[in-house]
């Protein structure tokens, strides 16, 4: 492999609570940044790159540096939904390689559960029609129904089955039950049945938007975290072993006449990231893939090159996505958005668990893990959305 190692993740922190009433989103971000810097052995004054998706009360872009007391040389406020943090990691790599900054911070905080935010179930209406919404708003589609439409199409075009999609939920719950924070999340959010599940459990859970069942849909939680990315010079003196960003790709996709709604932006961002990293999908040990719904994971496993288009049903059968099995990369080993946390934009957690795996710190640790892919999705699959792919390597 011909890998350039110019920037590394040096510190991480995941806010432990999934239900945190009385705590603001900006407080979650601030605590997470402080603990991530501590994890790296760095100080607030070391930060000279700020990457923010403009989440948190008044905390976006211009304001967050004031709240945190930063004086960054680089400010990046890219906002592409749940994939924002993969875009930020890619931009930090680019800026560090160009000598623009040495210590970059990205963070996220949300109290979606405490504030009863109806993520995915509310209407998609706006105060007044726009050039984009006037073609979709009148039909009453919700976010969940949009994903259900993609699943319907995949089943129609390729013969994939409900049983095959259910394997994704089974694997992520298997991992969640080994993660104390995920178990606490399910407890706090009053899940019915906090235990490992099987395919029948998924199919017997109630239908939310046909053909998506309850156990194929992400939870809505509070939460957040932070990531510190540093130059190779800074990485020499950090507290723990660095996790290198060796490849990245960014893409968007939108509805087109004659377009395929079962193909995501990952089909563009994935090959770019793997080419830069000089690795193949078959070499990857950990696949942290945005799991708003099972169909999200299924489509992106195909588009990232883990299997051919239409073949994901056979690819995921037999529990191969579990951390202690062989035949496929371990999927979402923290429990994912389906069974660990989903505060609204989950992309940062994909980076956090990738780092834990490559450090050997996961609660569902893959022995000898060397390579991980974190792929975030923002917007709506089957409609306008963004895809960010980051390839990570252990030291």
- Residues forming beta bridges with residue 108, ordered by sequence position: 225
Q: What is the pLDDT of residue 120?
A: 60
Q: What is the pLDDT of residue 59?
A: 66
Q: What is the pLDDT of residue 2?
A: 61
Per-residue pLDDT at 125 exceeds 60: no
Whether the CB-CB separation of 173 and 338 falls below 8 Å is answered with yes
Whether the CB-CB separation of 302 and 345 falls below 8 Å is answered with no
Where residue 81 falls (left for φ over 0; alpha for ψ -120 to 50; beta otherwise) is left
Give the pLDDT mean for 98-104.
98
**CATH assignment of 7-115+220-394, among 2.60.40.1170, 1.10.1130.10, 3.40.50.1820, 3.40.47.10:** 3.40.47.10
C-alpha to C-alpha distance for 151 and 169, rounded to whole angstroms? 15
Q: Cis link prior to 74 (omega < 30° from 0)?
A: no
Tokens representing residue 223 in the block: 């939460």
Return the closest-CA partner of residue 81 out of 48, 110, 116. Answer: 110
Per-residue pLDDT at 178 exceeds 90: yes
Give the pLDDT mean for 112-131.
70
C-alpha to C-alpha distance for 14 and 287, rounded to whole angstroms? 19
Encode pLDDT of 195-211 as tens digits.
Answer: 999 999 999 999 999 99
Cα dihedral sign for 332, 278, 108, 302?
A: negative
Give the pLDDT mean for 57-86.
88
pLDDT bin (cut points 50, 70, 90) of residue 61 is confident
Q: What is the pLDDT of residue 90?
A: 98
pLDDT bin (cut points 50, 70, 90) of residue 395 is confident
Q: What is the pLDDT of residue 93?
A: 98
C-alpha to C-alpha distance for 62 and 48, rounded to whole angstroms? 14
pLDDT bin (cut points 50, 70, 90) of residue 135 is low
Per-residue pLDDT at 1 exceeds 60: no
Q: What is the pLDDT of residue 160?
A: 97
Whether the CB-CB separation of 32 and 93 falls below 8 Å is answered with no
Q: Please return the burial class of 14, using the count of CB atoms within 10 Å of its CB with bins 0-12, 13-18 and 19+.
A: buried
Per the prediction, the chain carries an average pLDDT of 93
Residues 6+ apart with CB under 8 A from 242: 8, 9, 10, 230, 235, 395
Give the pLDDT mean for 243-248.
98
User: Taking the domains of the chain in order of start, what are their residue ranges?
Assistant: 7-115+220-394
Cα 311 from chain centre: 23
C-alpha to C-alpha distance for 314 and 306, rounded to whole angstroms? 12
**Selected residue with higher pLDDT from 69 and 369:** 369
Per-residue pLDDT at 272 exceeds 80: yes
Q: What is the pLDDT of residue 365?
A: 98
Alpha helices in 177-293 (DSSP H): 180-188, 199-204, 232-235, 266-277
Q: What is the pLDDT of residue 69?
A: 87
C-alpha to C-alpha distance for 264 and 302, rounded to whole angstroms? 9
Tokens representing residue 24 in the block: 């603001």
Per-residue pLDDT at 43 exceeds 80: yes
């Amino acid at each position: 492999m011909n890998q350039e190692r110019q920037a590394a993740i040096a510190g991480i922190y995941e806010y432990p609570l999934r239900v945190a009433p009385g705590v603001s989103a900006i407080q979650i971000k601030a605590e997470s940044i402080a603990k991530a810097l501590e994890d790296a052995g760095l100080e607030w004054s070391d930060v000279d790159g700020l990457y923010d998706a403009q989440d948190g009360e008044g905390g976006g872009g211009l304001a967050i540096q004031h709240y945190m007391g930063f004086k960054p040389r680089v400010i990046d406020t890219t906002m592409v939904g749940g994939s924002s943090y993969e875009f930020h990691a890619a931009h930090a790599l680019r800026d560090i390689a160009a000598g623009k900054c040495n210590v970059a911070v990205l963070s996220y905080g949300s109290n979606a559960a405490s504030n009863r935010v109806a993520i995915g179930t509310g209407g998609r209406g706006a105060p007044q029609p726009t050039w984009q919404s006037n073609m979709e708003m009148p039909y009453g589609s919700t976010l969940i129904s949009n994903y259900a439409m993609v699943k319907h199409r995949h089943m129609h075009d390729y013969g994939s089955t409900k049983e095959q999609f259910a394997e994704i939920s089974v694997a992520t719950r298997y991992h969640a039950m080994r993660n104390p924070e995920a178990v606490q999340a399910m407890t706090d959010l009053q899940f019915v049945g906090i235990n490992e599940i099987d395919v029948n459990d998924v199919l017997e859970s109630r239908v939310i938007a046909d053909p998506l069942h309850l156990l194929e849909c992400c939870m809505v939680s509070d939460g957040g975290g932070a990531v510190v990315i540093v130059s190779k010079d800074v990485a020499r003196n950090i507290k723990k072993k660095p996790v290198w960003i060796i490849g990245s790709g960014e893409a968007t996709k939108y509805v087109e006449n004659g377009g395929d709604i079962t193909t995501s932006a990952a089909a563009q961002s994935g090959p770019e990231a793997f080419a830069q990293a000089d690795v193949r999908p078959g070499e990857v040990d950990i696949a942290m893939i945005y799991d708003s719904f099972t169909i999200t994971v299924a489509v992106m496993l195909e588009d990232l090159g883990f299997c051919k288009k239409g073949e994901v049903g056979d690819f995921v059968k037999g529990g191969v996505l579990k951390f202690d099995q062989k035949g496929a990369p371990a999927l979402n080993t923290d429990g994912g958005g389906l069974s660990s946390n989903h505060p609204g934009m989950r992309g940062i957690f994909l980076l956090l668990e990738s780092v834990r795996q490559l450090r050997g710190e996961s609660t569902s640790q893959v022995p000898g893990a060397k390579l991980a892919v974190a792929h975030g999705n923002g917007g709506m699959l089957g409609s306008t959305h963004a895809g960010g792919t980051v390839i990570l390597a252990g030291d």
